[in-house]
Amino acid sequence: MKTRMLILGSGPAGLSAAIYGARAGLKPIVVQGIQPGGQLTTTTDVENYPGFRDVIQGPWLMQEMEAQAVHVGTRMIYDHIVEAQLDSAPFRLIGDGGQVYEGDTLVIATGAQARWLGLPSEDALKGKGVSACATCDGFFYRGKKVAVIGGGNTAVEEALYLTNHSDDVTLIHRRDRLRAERILQERLHANPKIKVLWNKRVEQFVDGGGNAGLVAIDLVDTVTGEPSTLAVDGGFVAIGHHPATELFRGKLELDDEGYVVVETGSTRTAIPGVFACGDVQDKIYRQAVTAAGTGCMAALDAERYLQELDFEERVEEAEAA
């Protein structure tokens, strides 16, 4: 399958790139991967996406984005890519069944996944009191008691953000010192709304039953082994994110955390014709609306790249004639 714009990933970034690419006549192909729709398909209430005054559902929003992309001319493919060939254009993606996809440009929108603790109770209460994004869900806990689990920059930033909504924020860390930058630690300790529980490991998230959702977190002291319970309304796991870039290791420039490196102010990667958008290159904002914005940027960058390429080819043909 060949196209002028090949897109890997079908979250807000990939589908926004597809919409703009299709409207530019590039007939994009979107390879959806193992999680069509991205992280929003696992999100229930969405209250911060522009254009909707009432709370909407994440899966519904992604269905609408996909329908819009298809309506303007995008071809959606369900496949799991196992190999990427970026040595030269056309760029090639190979599915696990052997299908080959070729694109004159490639837009990488594979996203990033939040790291979780891996507890069964955590999985059962996702969206019912347990979250991995304070910026996304903190608003729902106005005036309530919340806890953040972690000790790095992400955890401290989430705790500080939550003080905009709650006067009772607890940071739970399994060690006796934080890994966050010094200035963030100073802000944390100076904030009277935040207290820190040191040397505590989360044993389980407690379900109140019925529609209650999360009501408490069971903890174990990592030094003494003593159990304890913290009553909370919301628990935010903030132990980092993992960008989905395994396909591109050794083939594309990645930073120390595995995120795709792009030129400042654009979505261009180190390889001409290859672009990256959304959470796969954004470790700061990680919002659906910012992902969609960079998806638009990627499509516009790709369109300009193709226009320049076509112009150079016409010049070469004219000179040869």
Among candidate residues 153, 148, 151, the one with its CA nearest the CA of residue 137:
148
Tokens of 106: 């490639």
Q: Spot the catalytic one: 133, 168, 218, 296.
A: 133
Neighbouring residues of 135: CB distance < 8 A, sequence distance ≥ 6: 158, 161, 286, 287
Active-site annotation holds for 133? yes
Residue 136 a catalytic site member: yes
**Chain centroid to CA 125:** 20
Of the candidates 137, 233, 279, 282, the residue annotated as catalytic is 137
* Catalytic residue status for 137: yes
Q: Single out the catalytic residue among 45, 79, 104, 136.
A: 136
Q: Which residues are identified as catalytic?
A: 133, 136-137
